[in-house]
Structure 1
Amino acid sequence: METAIGIVAGILTSISMVPQLIKVIKEKDVDNLSPMMVAILLAGVSLWVVYGIILTDWPIILSNAFSVIVNTTLLICYFFFRNRQ
């Protein structure tokens, strides 16, 4: 049961930034996006990946690795789109 709860929690937190990423890519508008918030979140989920690797806990590793990809993409989009307005 604990693993199932962890997997569901990981999925939900991992996909939480996907709507923001879709909106940024679709509208090419990053005015309301805080790069500092994304960078801090990226650092946090990266540390979760390291923690998961230390524990060899695949739900932690996979869910947070997905978050790393989403948040890295969001941060790249911020720097790419910020001057296109």
Structure 2
Amino acid sequence: MKTVNVRDDDPTLSALLRDLDAGEEVVLARDGLPVARLVRLPRPMSRKGLYGFAKDQVTVPDSFFDPLPEEELRAWEDGPIFPGGDK
């Protein structure tokens, strides 16, 4: 895929980008025949917004940090992910 940056001093392309930002789709045509359709891509999530997105929505009980019961520990260590544990 080819990526082309648009210069701010290009009034036609800048106007098309403003239309896309406003939620419009743009069809490019040659001699009146549609050739391509431009749509707004979803904005990538910034790293700044990545952390803390579920603040005050998730709680971790104190028991989370308790040692696992022997049976459950054995299931983790000898299960399909780590067969045989560290033996």
TM-score (normalizing by structure 1): 0.20
Higher helix share: 1
Of structures 1 and 2, the one scoring higher in RCO (CA 8 A, sep 6+) is 1
Q: Higher strand share goes to which structure?
A: 2
